[in-house]
Structure 1
Amino acid sequence: MTEIIEQTSNLTVKILIIGDSVVGKTCLLLRFSKNNFKSETVYTIGVHFMDRTMEVSGQLVKIQGWDTAGQERFRTITRAFYRGSHGVMIVYDVTSRKSFENVEYWIQNLKENTAVSDLSILLMGNKIDLEEERVVSTEEGENLAKQHNIPFFETSAKTGENVEKCFLLLTEQSLKKKHYNDSSKQTKQTTNVEIETQPKKKCC
């Protein structure tokens, strides 16, 4: 795993994590930013972020991961945070057919609220550590990603498999985008974070 750099960076890449509720978005962000995992966590209300500073392509970069609520009542809030994003992770749960089917909704939502050509996007099938409960095959995920011409990875927030790789890929791609220097100024957003205390199952 790439060592965390304890320095200040002038470059910030904002990566938005979207998808249905309980697909493991919070756990993915926690694994990347803190190298930690919690089997039970709280529901995200609105949006919050964690960050990690790393050396990427020879540059010191602060990678901000913005974790968004997947519940229907918070989706208008999520749309407000598309602005200023450099990369987007669309996450589904390989043990949930519904979350996979809803990927099309999230892609359409993305198209309606952003200039998709300016973004680096990838599709993630999370919770591969729950292989016995899998209902969405790797091939299905690969085919869907090919339809939209975006990279595809299967991940596990519990074991950490492919999590850092996804964040680094989006960061590298974002740094290559011509729009980066203009939109990076918009990443200094703040938000109030409200959290419910009810645990949810299988956040990994």
Structure 2
Amino acid sequence: MAQAEGPARPGTAPGQPSVFKLVLLGSGSVGKSSLALRYVRNDFKSILPTVGCAFFTKVVNVGAASLKLEIWDTAGQEKYHSICHLYFRGANAALLVYDITKKESFYQAQRWLKDLENEFHPGEVVVMLVGNKTDLAEERQVTFQEGKEFAEGKRLLFMEASARLNHHVAELFGTVARELLQREEREAAAQPRDARVTLNQRPVRQAKCCAR
């Protein structure tokens, strides 16, 4: 897709996209790596469980603007839960992924949300709840309405997807990308014209909880 040149955003060199950190959170085997691989490389294959964290990047065009997503795919196994907090600190966005065929993974996504709420101030990060594996709808344990109602109650974005079928994968990342750009534009508009502020450099702040 051809990229139209637009005005440089604060803190971004002319012609360079803004950089945002996005983390994938959720229990093991819900398809976090599959979603990332499908989105970045348009590929799907059996993947071994992530150890620690995997890293992907992708430049996304949204109209005349563009941004670079740094996608951090965290391990879902319980033994890695504590160290995953190190990866999502400083994030601009998060995908909370669960498997629609496993109710427990839906509860685990809610646990990850609590971890985010302990780490960030309300509204500080863009959060989307993602129900993956819609290709296995006949085995569904979490209804669309359950996911939607939980997301609405917590003011999260929500979408169901299938990494295997490439259903709604680009759409969910694109929705997050648009929200990130809109937030950046609102922040820029709120700044005095003569203020030299680097929007992508988040202010130094005290953590809301002790390091784990």
Q: Which amino acid aligns with 2:151?
A: A
Aligned to 2:30: 23
State the Cα distance separating 1:4 from its structure 2 match.
8.8
Report if the CA contact (8 A) 1:110-1:116 is conserved: no
Larger CA deviation: 170-179 vs 105-114: 170-179
Greater RCO between the two (CA within 8 Å, min separation 6)? Answer: 1
Equivalent of residue 147 in structure 2, options 141, 145, 163: 141
Q: Structure 1 residues 110 and 55 mapped into 2: Cα distance closer, same or farther (>3 Å)? A: same
Equivalent of residue 102 in structure 1, options 108, 120, 125: 108
Aligned to 1:79: 85
What TM-score, normalized by structure 1, do the two folds share?
0.81
Report if the CA contact (8 A) 1:13-1:61 is conserved: yes
State the Cα distance separating 1:9 from its structure 2 match.
3.5
State the Cα distance separating 1:54 from its structure 2 match.
2.4
State the Cα distance separating 1:137 from its structure 2 match.
0.9
Aligned to 2:200: 184
Report if the CA contact (8 A) 1:86-1:119 is conserved: yes
Structure index of larger Rg: 2
Q: How does 1:151-166 map to 2 (within 5 A)?
A: 151-166=157-172
Q: Percent of aligned pairs with the same residue?
A: 30
Aligned to 1:34: 41
Matched positions, count: 181
Could you list the runs of 5+ residues in structure 2 that have no partner in the other structure?
4-14, 189-196, 203-212
State the Cα distance separating 1:122 from its structure 2 match.
0.8
State the Cα distance separating 1:84 from its structure 2 match.
2.0
State the Cα distance separating 1:171 from its structure 2 match.
1.3
Structure with the higher strand share, 1 or 2: 1
Q: Structure 1 residues 133 and 77 mapped into 2: Cα distance closer, same or farther (>3 Å)? A: same
Q: What are the superposed Cα offsets for residues 155-202 of structure 1, whole Å, 9 maximum, x if unpaired?
A: 00011111111111111111222569756358xxxxxxxxxxxxxxxx
Task: Please give the alpha-carbon distance, in whole angstroms, between the structure 1 residues aligned to 2:201 and 2:2.
Answer: 23
Aligned to 1:52: 58
